[in-house]
Amino acid sequence: MKTVCLIAAAATAAASMSALAAPTIYAANAGTTSSTLHGGNRELNRLGFVGTSSSMTGADFLRWNDGKLTNNAGTFGWTDLVPRDVNSANVYTGNPDRADGSTPLPTEAAKKGSMKDVFGSFNGYKNMSYIIDGEDNGAYCFDLLYGNGHTISADGSASTVELSILERGGNSDFNVYGIRADGSLTSAMFVSRSKGGKVGWNLDTLEIAGAQDVYGFGISLDSSWTNLKGFRIEAKNGFNGPDIVAVGTGATLPPPLVPAPGALGVLGLGSVIAMRRQRKS
């Protein structure tokens, strides 16, 4: 079965790579990164990068409230149970997996797991021992959404990391799309495996035999990445099956301010605009 990652019609037809020509990708810095191991479950404390003082904390990897995964078995929502590969099986192009010594997933016995298991809260933190495992030349993609009307916009500064992705192995590429509030997508941003840096720990999961280093990518988006309600990560044939451990972003904004009926007449248009700008700052 061929995996198809559906792209909204308004997404990229008129967009070009040049419109997103200036993202800056920073490699993770193991020297300024710290984590805590709780048995076999890992909590991130701080993620630093080479070349910028911008950093992320574990809380930045817990901003997701919804999402979906599309692989060669179908499309699965945030809490849908995705069939898993274990013990060296290679059936599904992208599927939940966990470190050998970590807490079993809730539906471990059925060899299934969900997007929420991997990217949601585990004892109050994002468990860095849970991943989406990719398969060599297999294609898959997944979306992560803030929910509750929240959005994020890049600030235009090349030194600010707005998006961070952790990948196990450091030997795979992937594409990143921004998902706009209207559901359309930005053009794809290609992230080369050569841009990542080791974070200081490794992962040996049920599907493979042997530990592999985890690599981190810190992405400073250009100012055209605005009003985004989430992101899409895409593995294509030939990308060598990225194993995505975690996706983090900076602080999200509250829903846009909606004046009460008649408020425009009381406050005046200028006041409302000022309130909206203050809320977004």
Domain membership of residue 147 as a residue range? 17-250
Q: Whole-model pTM? A: 0.86
| Residue 34, pLDDT score | 98
146 and 225 housed in the same domain: yes
- Domain annotation covers residue 170: yes
> For 153-183, what is each residue's pLDDT tens digit?
998 799 999 999 999 999 999 999 999 999 9
Report the C-alpha dihedral over residues 154, 158, 161, 167, rounded to 10 degrees.
Answer: 110
- Domain annotation covers residue 12: no
| Residue 268, pLDDT score | 44
| pLDDT band with cut points at 50, 70 and 90 for residue 250 | confident
202 and 78 housed in the same domain: yes
138 and 203 housed in the same domain: yes
281 and 202 housed in the same domain: no
Number of domains composing the chain = 2
Check whether 260 has a pLDDT greater than 50.
no
> For 178-210, what is each residue's pLDDT tens digit?
999 999 999 999 999 999 999 999 999 999 989
165 and 262 housed in the same domain: no
- Domain annotation covers residue 1: no
234 and 276 housed in the same domain: no
125 and 46 housed in the same domain: yes
